[in-house]
Structure 1
């Protein structure tokens, strides 16, 4: 027997993906709930590692900028000029295609 589905319509007027209703008495879970339970510990581990990495690297990255702010601004400006120049060259090269 196929479990009943709720039919929902999304904001764009198309049918949304419907999830099967589960009977709370039998303890059946949807696939989404199973995936969430499997991924949740991994997500918590990833969040903890990212927090540790942020605590370790942030002081090492901020110190040179605090000590020499003009050099940091000059490097950022040079990077912007370089990226802008490459973008202009790419646009100009795109307009000169030969058949």
Structure 2
């Protein structure tokens, strides 16, 4: 089956490709089937994320409320570590290009 039928334009010079109705209908029905399959999974995922948010947020907020300076120090340390690793990776990439 050919997905496009070619016709000449009204000027008679340039071909114009138009999708056939059966192909368009098949694509639409396939899209609808995919939506029907994905929609319940998306709802389950949203419910699970909401449940995790409700249970984990208090457990994560409690230590930060009790020791805010420690939380800031840990996050700053992680930031410095990630930054240093990034700089090292960039320098290693520049060195390998120079060779």
* TM-score, normalised by the number of residues in structure 2: 0.67
Deviations 1:4-46 (A, max 9, x none): xxxxxxxxxxxxxxx7258xxxxxx611111111221111111
Q: How many residues align?
A: 79
| Alignment root-mean-square deviation, CA | 2.6
Task: Identify the structure with the greater helix proportion.
Answer: 2
SS at match of 2:24: coil
Structure 2 stretches lacking a partner, 5+ long = 3-22
Give the distance between the partners of 2:24 and 2:92, measured in 1 at CA. 53
Q: Which has the larger radius of gyration?
A: 2
**Alignment pair present for 1:20 and 2:24:** yes
Give the distance between the partners of 1:45 and 1:67, measured in 2 at CA. 34
Task: Identify the structure with the greater strand proportion.
Answer: 2
1:33-44, aligned counterparts within 5 Å?
A: 33-44=32-43
